[in-house]
Chains A and B, each alone.
Chain A
Amino acid sequence: MISYLLRRSAFLLVSFVIAMVAIFVLLRLLPGDPSNALLSVTATPEQIAAAQAQVGADRPVLEQFSTWFGQLARFDLGESFISSLPVGPEISARLAVTVPLTLLAFALALVISLVAGFVAATRADRWYGILISGISQLGVAVPVFWVGILLVSVFSVGLRWLPSGGFPRDDWADPADALRSLALPVITVAVVMSASLTRYVRAATLDVLGSDYLRSARAQGSGRGEALWRHGLRNGAVPVIAILGIELATTFLGAVVVESVFSLPGLGSMLLKAIQQHDYPNIQGVLFVSTLVVLVIGFLGDVAQRLVDPRLRVSISGNR
């Protein structure tokens, strides 16, 4: 297991470096000029030249590249082209919104889908089992922003229970206030996310229910519940854990849409603005953090799978 962890960590590091290089190169291939965001319709030629100098995009690409990697090595994400403000502190401020949003939505989606998926599988012949399956099928096709708009019109504009958007000025100073702001975005993401998760849980449960080992356990006198608890859970968990990692990463990256609908000052809305303005340091900073998060989630997901299922550990160490 330790050698596996070492190999997997090395792989993580290499993937990360490759991703950073790719991000840098791809950004430079985009058409457009970052200095344009600074200009007005009355800009003089001197101001156009000054704007180009300010964003530093006139420097050779290799020089920009070495500067950026040098900064990264010192844990410095540089300064925004457009605002000249440091990128690092802004990203940490935005993470205070995006991380709780992602984790709460993920937790909520997990609850919904574990319950719904299990019921849909074990009660596949009842009307509510069929209904859950149907809704989850439908849910996969529903866009996040649509659910968001729907929830806002019902719970904010209609019932006035929750704010329609924004985030408290003092962040988490009053946690209840911050949670109120996050409630609708969290539910929005969770609803959409649980649709696909429910289908995975249902499939995994059906798999377990039809398995030989469960039938053997039942034959040896275990009740249905006990058999599922002792034998089914672990076996069912392996494919679900694999998909959970991907779902968590997707939710984190997908925050951009829901943050826009709810005017939340998160990482997603920062990325959107930065892309509109060709603000390379901001784009690179956000992608740096999100790439790291996604890769680490993948890593943890893999490790968790091996912890849950000893067979994977054996086969990996046995083969190599």
Chain B
Amino acid sequence: MKKNIAFVALGLATTLLLVGCASGADSSTASAGDATIEIGSLYEPQNLSNFGGGGQGVTEAFNGNVYEGLYKLTDDGSVEPLLAASNTVSDDGLTYTFTLQDGVSFHSGKALTSADVKASIDAVLADDSQSARKSSFGAITSIETPDDKTVVVTLAERSISFIYNLSYVWIINADATDLESTEDGTGPYALGDWKRGSSLSLTRFDGYWGDAAANSEVVFNYFTDATALSNALLTGEVDIVTSVQSPDALSQFNDNADYVVSDGDSTTKEVLAFNDRVAPFDNVDVRKAIYSAIDTKKLLNSIWGDYGTLIGSMVPPTDPWYEDLTQVNPYDPDLAKKLLASGGQPDGFEFTLDTPSYDPHPVVAEFVKSELAKVGVTVNINTISADEWYTKVYKAQDFTATLQEHVNDRDVVWYGNPDFYWGYNNPQVTQWVGEAEASTTTDEQTAKLKQVNEQIAQDAASVWLYLYPQIVVAASDVSGYPVNGLNSQFFAYDIVTE
């Protein structure tokens, strides 16, 4: 008996090894245009709907690929028409009339009509919507569909960002059901298979109204571990990695002719947020002192090496109202000590820094702690889970200071909301943010938001430690991918292999 088991198992083991040795990785060498692009990512969707809290992963895989909006935010940050062929705005800026593109159909075959557009915006506004853009559409009072090609949206007040905000609204088939595990969009790809915990494939949609995708299929392969992701790229199992989150892995690709490492502009800011409501951070001088005590250049370098950007405000370079404000709160420990004294804390003080337990926050917290110790400020690091962060910091606002990454573009406007978790309350800024939104021209909006930038930097509303790099690593025979990946979107339709 024992011998029999032994033989069976030995046979099994041998088979395993033989199978292993027999075939190498089968890389697709199909002719151009028919390639399958294997993409590696750490962000698997939770579900396939962005109205139901699908998270970053569903945006990455579906935005612009499977679903399209009336407008599109391009990789360089500008807004272009997509499903909207044209639009007119009434003189008072309150009525937008959109005319839809001709010949657009959903993957199910149904033609796109204005009713679908109305249903899509309604889904964002619905009571149970988890859309990250829901709060941007508070001004909408009505959506009319006079004919199949025309959508008329009426606002209660001017909203210069309205067109931009529409670029986040996926146009779904109004009749579609079960959008959490299936899709019905108008994009260049239709959903192939979603193998949960593993991969999601998109296949070229033959009935696409615009230019067909340059490849026949893209597959998003999901990893939970950054090292496993790097290994997959090294072994040719994936062609491209959407966003490298660990600089340690880069050395293997940097000096290797088989790979291209691109350093794009992300919109993700590492923020040391004070609770501006509570002492001592209700004092501007104290906040500025903390800012000046931290050598952000050294911090960025220690975490990202040569990658990433220093910013002096909440605004990344891809936002229209970006300006270099890094010198408003310069690194200067002597200045920091003076500011502490004028802020009523000549002997320093002690505070607790609520630190999310995942990278890079724990390392950043340690760095901040050692920098602040040099000016007499003691930091107690309190490590919390992402879950606890929401409950304690975001919902209950029960904190003194915290670390968080803020990922979206154009989110400087949150400093105009005194109820936001960080509690920054400058009525002047709130007013400017409101005026910016009510602007009649983008120039006016830009000018107002630059004032906002400058003011929050002057007030050191938070410490903007650095802007994450957006690092895409790809095999050198792959091209046509987006390098900035704004707001986690990843347009896959232009990617080709040689």
Contacts and interface: CB of A to CB of B under 8 A. Distances in A.
Interface string B66-78: 0000000000000
A220 interface: no
Contacts of A186: 16
A162 B20 contact: yes
B181 interface: yes
A85 interface: yes
A115 interface: yes
A180 B19 contact: yes
B181 A33 contact: no
Interface residues of A, number: 72
A318 interface: no
Given A32-B387, A36-B391, A270-B197, A42 B132 contact: yes
Given A48-B395, A114-B2, A42 B127 contact: no
B110 to A, nearest CB: 24
B258 interface: no
Given A84-B52, A85-B180, A160-B24, A44 B16 contact: no
A124 B406 CA distance: 62
A260 B225 contact: yes
A32 B197 contact: no
Interface string A252-290: 000000001111111001101100111000000000000
A266 B198 CA distance: 9
B9, B23, B53 interface centre (most CB from chain A within 10 Å):
B53
Nearest to A84: B180
Contacts of B359: none
Interface in B385-439: 385-388, 390-391, 394-395, 404, 406-408, 411, 414
A93 B180 CA distance: 18
B201 interface: yes
| Residue from A42, A44, A266, A269 with most neighbouring chain B CB atoms (10 Å) | A42
A156 interface: yes
Nearest to B233: A164
A235 interface: no
Interface string B196-227: 11110100000000000000000101111101
Contacts of B227: 149
A46 interface: yes
Interface string B280-295: 0000000000000000
A262 B408 contact: no
Contacts of B225: 260-261, 263
Contacts of B228: 164-165, 261-263
A33 B232 CA distance: 34
Contacts of B6: 111, 114-115
Contacts, number: 187
Contact of A111 (B10, B193, B232): B10
A-side binding surface: helix, strand, loop or mixed?
helix
Given A85-B180, A165-B231, A180-B23, A104 B198 contact: no
B318 interface: no
A93 B181 CA distance: 15
A302 interface: no
B196 A260 contact: no
Interface string B126-141: 0111101011000000
A140 B108 CA distance: 56
Nearest to A106: B9
Given A157-B235, A160-B25, A176-B19, A263 B134 contact: no
B127 A50 contact: yes
Of B16, B130, B197, B408, most buried by chain A (CB within 10 Å of CB) is B197
Interface of B: 1-2, 5-6, 8-10, 12-13, 15-17, 19-25, 46-47, 52-53, 127-130, 132, 134-135, 180-181, 193, 195-199, 201, 219, 221-225, 227-228, 231-232, 234-237, 385-388, 390-391, 394-395, 404, 406-408, 411, 414
20 contacts: A36-B390, A39-B53, A39-B390, A42-B132, A50-B127, A83-B47, A94-B197, A104-B16, A111-B6, A114-B5, A152-B231, A160-B236, A163-B237, A166-B237, A183-B16, A263-B224, A265-B196, A265-B198, A273-B224, A278-B387
**Which 6 residue pairs are nearest across A and B when measured between Cβ atoms?**
A265-B197, A38-B53, A111-B9, A265-B198, A36-B390, A164-B231
